[in-house]
């Protein structure tokens, strides 16, 4: 039985067989998913660059590992393919403007005015850190997969910064959200 007949991804392309929902149906379903918003940061020469994502998750705690999904045609995806290092800056509830700035397709997304200086002085090892972000992770790619339009980067977390205890910015149903009601047990 081939991988296609088995309904599994074939080796190499990591794409499932085209037998599921149409793209609009799947998109509608995914709009209901509410999650945090992050900015992936990289250095472009001497200047910091940011790209907004919601596709961030931890893979495992030990060893500390995360993944992000980046559209393959973005400047950030090219950078991650090239040098493998990037930062993940979770956005706080008051950083909605940064999410907008770093989500403009095909526009410059330099973020010089929003970063704090590098902690150990080495730009290569320390990704740009956004001022006011509650969590900043310094990541090194250990595996890259190409899935449809996207690059999936699985990365080791080399450093964690928890500078501000801000509540997270959330995104879902096509809009930003500031919080959710707590469910009482
Ligand atoms: C809330 C939000 C979440 C996003 N999440 C992702 C994501 O997970 N992956 C992705 O490739 N693009 C995501 N985008 C779109 C990118 O931010 C945007 O297309 C990108 O900045 C374009 O970069 P480019 O100019 O290098 O092409 C998101 C946008 C918003 C507003």
Task: Report the number of distinct structural domains present in the chain.
Answer: 1
pLDDT at 4: 42
Domain extent at residue 161: 36-176
Q: How close is the Cα of 51 to the center of ligand 1, in Å?
A: 6
Q: What pTM, to 2 d.p., does this model score?
A: 0.89
Decide if pLDDT at 6 tops 90: no
105 lines ligand 1 (CB under 6 A): yes
CATH number at residue 50: 2.30.110.10
What is the pLDDT confidence band of residue 108, given thresholds at 50, 70 and 90?
Answer: very high
- Gap between the Cα atoms of 180 and 93, Å rounded: 12
Q: What is the pLDDT of residues 156-174, one digit of tens each?
A: 999 999 987 889 999 999 9
Number of Cβ within 10 Å of residue 155's Cβ equals 24
Task: Indicate whether 15 belongs to any domain.
Answer: no
Residue 103 lies in a domain: yes
Q: Is the pLDDT of residue 125 over 70?
A: yes
First to last CA, the chain: 48
Asked if residue 121 is part of any domain, the answer here is yes
Would 169 be classed as within a structural domain?
yes
74 CB less than 6 Å from ligand 1? Answer: yes
φ, ψ of residue 131 in degrees (nearest 5)? -65, 135
The finding on whether 133 has its CB within 6 A of some atom of ligand 1 is no
Residue 1 in domain: no
Give kind and range of the element (H or E) at residue 24: helix 23-31
């Amino acid at each position: 039985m081939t991988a296609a007949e088995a309904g599994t991804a074939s080796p190499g392309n990591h794409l499932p067989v085209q037998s599921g929902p149409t793209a609009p149906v799947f998109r509608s379903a995914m709009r209901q998913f509410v999650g945090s918003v992050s900015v992936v940061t990289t250095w472009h020469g001497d200047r910091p660059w940011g790209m907004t994502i919601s596709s961030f998750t931890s893979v495992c705690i030990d060893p500390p590992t995360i993944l992000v999904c980046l559209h393959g045609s973005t400047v950030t995806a090219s950078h991650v393919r090239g040098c493998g290092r990037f930062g993940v800056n979770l956005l706080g509830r008051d950083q909605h403007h940064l999410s907008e700035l770093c989500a403009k397709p095909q526009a410059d997304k330099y973020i010089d005015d929003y970063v704090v200086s590098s902690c150990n002085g080495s730009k290569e090892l320390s990704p740009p850190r956004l001022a006011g972000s509650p969590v900043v992770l310094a990541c090194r790619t250990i595996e890259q997969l190409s899935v449809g339009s996207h690059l999936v980067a699985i990365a080791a977390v080399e450093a964690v910064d928890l500078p501000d205890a801000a509540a997270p910015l959330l995104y879902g149903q096509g809009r930003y959200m500031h919080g959710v009601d707590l469910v009482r047990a």
